[in-house]
Structure 1
């Protein structure tokens, strides 16, 4: 049963406001796609980094370490405690392992789609936050960090795919994907560009980048239950709408119009566009620096849908702060996340340092005033659906990506989607 995003937010948002302070994952089972920690293993045995000897330890990645360090050090000075911010590779897996061994951080910074796995492993605690505070953030961000009717993360950034356009090659913004495809094919046939439309496919496929097309054609991955939570028993891959979407994608592939090709992949998609070899690029905020440096005129918009079809809904990703369930100083951790981080000053620091579109509404408004193009990135995130954070999502991306690559290469779209649905269903059952 598919439930519209806004209705789902209304259902889960109220329950999230009353989140308690206990962690835990129910029966402790690790569903398909979940990385379970090795019980009793030490940090040395698993390769997880050792916790720094400080009162408050925060784990993040290299991209975010500078702004997180700036905020954490100020928190330490104000509270008279020592702090340490560590950049950790393979962050989610190492955090779960180290937390299970009580050798992990007090706070971890990461993507919202980790939540299901972290909750199943009892690795994070719900947050203690008021309704008024939560109301300062965008609905899609709150939806993303809510799991099992509890709020687990404080969102600071939102990301979704957008459509970049080389305005020297394509002066008019396309109203539909069909318009973009037609313009791109004309330019390709004239020999002006190498690629009509840069959507990464490659030999392994890319289910993330195909999602806007798939949803506009009526497809979905997981539906939602009556409470608004993603329902792993409601798999859309392989149903009639999915088959129709697969058939249309086949028409766009190498055996059809050729607007989608496996020669465009995650390795070359942005570079080809920046070199002026494609009029359009389907990518995210992370491509902006390369596009700006390219030297041609450009614009950006939320991904349009197909003519006469559903709106395109990319996956929305949310970056957030989480409190570790086995942290050495959980009181400091809760105060840091729900107090210090939960301010416009801290959110401004994160935006300036990590350059991920903000989830705090007041900051969105002030930043759009200074940078009007930011609105397109926010529109895209608000139009999307949060990446499902249920552990079963781990069984989706590889087979679905491979299916798209095969379909673009000429495999029967409808039949391939049915087979892929069967594969995913067997993996999560």
Structure 2
């Protein structure tokens, strides 16, 4: 009898626990949730409505399980975005969710501004993402974001210019030496060999060349290698291009030589996926080449991710919304509109009829996401100034690399 009574009590207690869980789940689903998401102008004005429709779809999907949720998307400019975000978060007035790339993630993480998503994201939630994209948003073993897009960069050749200098459209250069040989032919015919935007981010100018030479800049352990024997080869190569006229005289400070390429003044341009559409819009036939190598074939390619602010008062729901934003269907929609490469393998099917974009997607496998160090964005202007001083003739390549190393050291903790 006692055993029967005890079993009855256990059953009743179990039912009460289940009922409590159901009530809790119901309360959670119907709670008032307000999230602010900061995004950027990923598209031009002509696609404004299309991208807003994507955001609306994300919100609608989230509200199926969170009917009382209010999601507000706010667009902020690309320019000076880091300062705007950090200032807002410091005042605890910033967004719950916002967009970062890997070298920014390390910086924001070290300042304690990002939520560790390992507390809200399971391994199963990461199924389907490419390994390189997840790695790019992981810093010191902590997951700080979920990837939404990828990008890769390489050399695009103006086919008309290439044919004019006697180049082989079916045999594009794969090494520095091969490119230099072709580049000299371009200069002899009155063209520049390639773009080099010394006033632009080093991710698209110096750094890929350093990696291709087998060198590096600095790692997350603060070990500096930008002035070692291999890395200096990149400085020497840039200096040689400038002296020999393979790159334009304004390469010291220019931040956009793409127009010169599209006008037929330059043989090749270092660019990302967006060059495919730009060339079409300007009726320029381009060929996608290798990013080249001295010792290693490697390129720069960012991974864009949505992260959760550590100042958010509802980190769990913010993380849940990030999962919705980056799920398979929404990733397809977002990248179809923005023209980027999806960070999920299954979503890559949007590129199946686009051989050029598939070629760029293949390059993400050899793409580095930037310099992963918390001070990478901070010391970049100083390193850039050292390269500019070299091109102005004030420093030798080795001196420029040593100056860059000295400046980096001054910022490291």
TM-score bracket relative to the smaller structure: 0.7 to 0.9
What is the CA-CA distance between 1:370 and the residue it aligns to?
A: 1.4
Secondary structure class of the residue paired with 1:56:
strand
Please tell me whether residue 270 in structure 1 is matched to residue 251 in structure 2: no
Partner of 2:295: 310
Output one character per residue of 1:256-291: Cα deviation in whole Å (capped at 9) or x when no partner: x32234424644410001111111001112333322
Distance 1:207 1:321, change over 3 A: closer
State the number of aligned residues: 360
The normalised TM-score by structure 2 is 0.79
What is the CA–CA distance in structure 1 between the aligned matches of 2:249 and 2:52, rounded to whole Å? 37
Distance 1:55 1:268, change over 3 A: closer
What is the CA–CA distance in structure 1 between the aligned matches of 2:350 and 2:299, rounded to whole Å? 23
Please tell me whether residue 343 in structure 1 is matched to residue 327 in structure 2: yes
Matches within 5 A, 1:343-422: 343-364=327-348, 366-410=349-393, 411-422=395-406
Output one character per residue of 1:66-91: Cα deviation in whole Å (capped at 9) or x when no partner: 36523333235423122211112444
What is the CA–CA distance in structure 2 between the aligned matches of 1:132 and 1:198, rounded to whole Å? 43
The 8 Å contact of residues 162 and 376 in structure 1, kept in 2 or not, is answered as no
What is the CA-CA distance between 1:400 and the residue it aligns to?
A: 2.0
Please tell me whether residue 328 in structure 1 is matched to residue 313 in structure 2: yes
Partner of 1:299: 287
Partner of 1:200: 197
Partner of 2:18: none
Partner of 1:258: 245
The 8 Å contact of residues 137 and 147 in structure 2, kept in 1 or not, is answered as yes
Secondary structure class of the residue paired with 2:274:
helix
Partner of 1:129: 121
Secondary structure class of the residue paired with 1:108:
strand
- Superposed CA RMSD in Å reads 2.5
Partner of 1:238: 227
The structure with more helix, counted as a fraction of residues: 2
Output one character per residue of 1:14-65: Cα deviation in whole Å (capped at 9) or x when no partner: xxxxxxxxxxxxxxxxxxxxxxxxxxxxxxxxxxxxxxx9722211112266
Distance 1:335 1:303, change over 3 A: same
Distance 1:209 1:376, change over 3 A: farther
Distance 1:417 1:261, change over 3 A: farther
Instruction: Return 5+ residue gaps in structure 1 as ranges.
Output: 1-52, 224-229
The 8 Å contact of residues 107 and 377 in structure 2, kept in 1 or not, is answered as no
- Which of 95, 112, 116 is matched with 1:105 structurally? 95
Distance 1:129 1:266, change over 3 A: farther
Secondary structure class of the residue paired with 2:308:
strand
Distance 1:334 1:301, change over 3 A: same
The 8 Å contact of residues 173 and 289 in structure 2, kept in 1 or not, is answered as no
What is the CA–CA distance in structure 1 between the aligned matches of 2:215 and 2:317, rounded to whole Å? 44
What is the CA-CA distance between 1:221 and the residue it aligns to?
A: 0.6
What is the CA–CA distance in structure 1 between the aligned matches of 2:380 and 2:111, rounded to whole Å? 21
Secondary structure class of the residue paired with 2:42:
coil
Distance 1:408 1:379, change over 3 A: farther
Could you say which structure has the larger radius of gyration? 2
Instruction: Return 5+ residue gaps in structure 2 as ranges.
Output: 1-31, 44-50, 163-168
Matches within 5 A, 1:11-30: none
Distance 1:57 1:105, change over 3 A: same
- Which of 218, 222, 225 is matched with 2:218 structurally? 222
What is the CA–CA distance in structure 2 between the aligned matches of 1:299 and 1:97, rounded to whole Å? 43
Secondary structure class of the residue paired with 1:222:
coil
Output one character per residue of 1:274-322: Cα deviation in whole Å (capped at 9) or x when no partner: 11111100111233332222213212234021xxx31243333111111
What is the CA-CA distance between 1:355 and the residue it aligns to?
A: 1.9
Partner of 2:178: 179
Partner of 1:61: 40
The 8 Å contact of residues 341 and 361 in structure 2, kept in 1 or not, is answered as yes
What is the CA-CA distance between 1:184 and the residue it aligns to?
A: 2.7
